[in-house]
Structure 1
């Protein structure tokens, strides 16, 4: 008598597979059939865990956003001079991006084609605005060069951090010191040009 293969997937392991496939094929280019094949389980097994492909997207993007917004609640992001808080947020954003690379990569690639994507883009803009507010405060406190355009500096800062998703490969990093070195380099390079 042959036993049927049991579905050993959990919502978390299924999410890991879905994020990998979304990043490889694009969210719009991924079908439930693609997810089923990648996971090695039936579509009905997937539906046992989630209602839809968009629910998987929402869960993945929520994980990335929770990590980013969690930074803003850290004491070092809420207390002290704005420029020091901004350096902390910059360093931690790079660290979260590397720690949650597939999830943040997916967040960075959404286009606004679904309700979940539009929600994610609005949340990203909210995060960016809070960082921009810190830049504005740091300039008002005299800690940033007076010729720095805050909106442009915000975009450049996030451009540098977000570019990590394009080239960073955790399997090449020998240990967590490599991640710290990347985060330190981002802060050092960015603030060498921003600080007075």
Structure 2
């Protein structure tokens, strides 16, 4: 005889909406890989029936689409913010880097999943196309900053943008939300390294041209 508890489990436990279901699904995808996660596994992890999942979404593909769009929408919103910044292209680029770090911190599981997409499904290929569009926007900003004389011209802008955002994206490998560093502190550090460098200036480097000229006088 079926108990009330069994009937409740089959219908699905109360308390899950689409967003909370997505949060857990993304966690499982990151742990097991999207390809390695079945609907049965999601059902077990959630403690609800597959039919209860299908009440909210059509299946794994929709969960993946919602997840990667959460990350991509945040990045494109950051790009829109940067585009509205007045001034030189390098200032807009720095704004975009800072805002992207904030997106990564705020949406860490979603960005992590996005960076692991390999293009095996139509949803993944769509996500990769959007990533390439974002990359082109960054490369265009770098090219503008080069043209304005604020970024060195002897490195291809596409390579510069990939290296720059490679540093941003590397945060998913080691950043932990319970750490002591805030998003603003992380963004400051990334921008210092990216736009100033790691080498500490020596006192002699701080001499003014006039001082150097005086030192050459006979």
| Alignment TM-score > 0.5, same fold | yes
> How far does residue 22 in structure 1 lie from its aligned partner after superposition?
0.4
Q: Report if aligned partners of 2:93, 2:141 keep a CA contact under 8 Å in 1.
A: yes
2:187 match: secondary structure? helix
Counterpart Cα distance in 1 of 2:34 and 2:86: 39
Q: Is 2:138 the counterpart of 1:131?
A: yes
| 1:75-130 deviations in Å (ceiling 9; x for gaps) | 66553210000000011111111110000000000000000000000000000100
Match of 1:186 in 2: 190
Change (3 A) 1:75 1:189: closer
Q: 1:123-176: per-residue Cα shift (whole Å, max 9, x none)?
A: 000001001000000000011122232121111111100000000000223xxx
SS of equivalent residue, structure 1 residue 54: helix
Superposition TM-score, scaled by structure 1 size: 0.92
Larger Rg: 2
Distance 1:75 1:26 in 2: 33
Q: Which aligned runs of 4 or more in structure 1 are off by greater than 6 angstroms?
A: none
Query: Would the aligned equivalents of 2:93 and 2:138 in 1 still touch at CA under 8 Å?
Result: yes
Contact kept in structure 2, 1:71 and 1:92, CA below 8 Å: yes
Secondary structure of the residue aligned to 2:154 is coil
Tell me the TM-score normalised to structure 2 length. Answer: 0.83
Q: Could you tell me which runs of 5 or more consecutive residues in structure 2 were left unpaired when the two chains were aligned.
A: 198-218
CA contact (8 A) 1:76 1:88 kept: no
CA–CA separation in structure 2 for the residues paired with 1:133 and 1:184: 23
Q: Counterparts of 1:111 and 1:43 in 2: how far apart (Å)?
A: 26
Over 3 Å counting, the alpha-carbon distance change for 1:77 and 1:186 in structure 2 is: farther
Q: 5+ unaligned residues in a row in structure 1: which ranges?
A: none
Q: Which residue of 1 aligns with 2:62?
A: 55
Distance 2:175 2:133 in 1: 25
CA contact (8 A) 2:82 2:96 kept: no
Equivalent residue for 1:106? 113
